[in-house]
């Protein structure tokens, strides 16, 4: 297990937002960050989304091959196109990196978020791997099980976060080039034989993030 990022050891609150359409969560993240002060709590938001494709700032819309009836939303996070939907554990990371004295440690922040996914998968006897130049978590066969994308404002505050596929309808992934990679297979825990509830995985992932980022 990687050590946590060497930041100030202040608490991170966990909030459960339930099932929510992405634009509501996206607007709330931005509004919370807009209104933050030096005393505002750092938070992890647990959410499950209705089906949506989201585009990062540098995303090529041509990587959305056939959205059909699924909304496509432009965002301000890093990265390319991804899919969110029911059965996916999404945790948004709202931190003040400047206050935590780790503003220059963005690479370590990303590694710790990835490590939280790896640790969560390990509890279910699954091995998650990093891939150089492709943020997220993969399996030995190259398929992707978790996506990651962040926004870091000029004031050092973050939002967006990580999405771990638990028990999803995976077909919408075949209608895009996930993260900009043609023919990238996406997988979930259920298809790997893991019978885990979304709530349990959400709780485990948030706890790992809370531990590694505090």
State the Cα–Cα distance between residues 39 and 145, nearest whole angstrom. Answer: 35
Catalytic residues: 179
* DSSP type of residue 62: G
β strands within the chain, DSSP E: 12-20, 42-49, 52-55, 72-74, 81-84, 88-94, 129-131, 134-138, 144-152, 158-165
Q: Are 206 and 163 in contact (CB under 8 A)?
A: no
Q: Are 13 and 33 in contact (CB under 8 A)?
A: no
């Amino acid at each position: 297990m990687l050590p946590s990022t060497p930041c100030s050891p202040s608490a991170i609150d966990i909030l459960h937002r339930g099932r929510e359409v992405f634009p509501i969560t996206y607007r709330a993240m931005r509004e919370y960050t807009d209104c933050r002060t030096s005393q505002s709590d750092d938070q992890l938001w647990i959410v499950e989304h209705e089906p949506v494709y989201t585009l990062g700032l540098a995303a090529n819309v041509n990587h959305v091959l056939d959205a059909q009836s699924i909304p496509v939303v432009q965002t301000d996070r890093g990265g390319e196109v991804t899919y969110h939907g029911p059965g996916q554990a999404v945790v948004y990371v709202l931190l003040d990196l400047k206050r935590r004295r780790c503003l220059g440690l963005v690479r370590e922040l990303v590694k710790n978020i990835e490590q939280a996914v790896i640790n969560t998968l390990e509890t279910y006897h699954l091995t998650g791997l990093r891939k150089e130049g492709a943020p997220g978590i993969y399996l030995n066969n190259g398929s992707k099980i978790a996506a990651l994308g962040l926004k870091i404002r000029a004031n050092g505050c973050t939002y967006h976060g990580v999405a771990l596929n638990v028990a999803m309808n995976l077909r919408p992934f075949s209608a895009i080039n996930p993260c900009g990679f043609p023919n990238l297979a996406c997988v979930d825990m259920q298809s790997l034989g893991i019978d885990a509830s979304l709530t349990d995985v959400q709780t485990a992932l948030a706890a790992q993030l809370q531990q590694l980022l505090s």
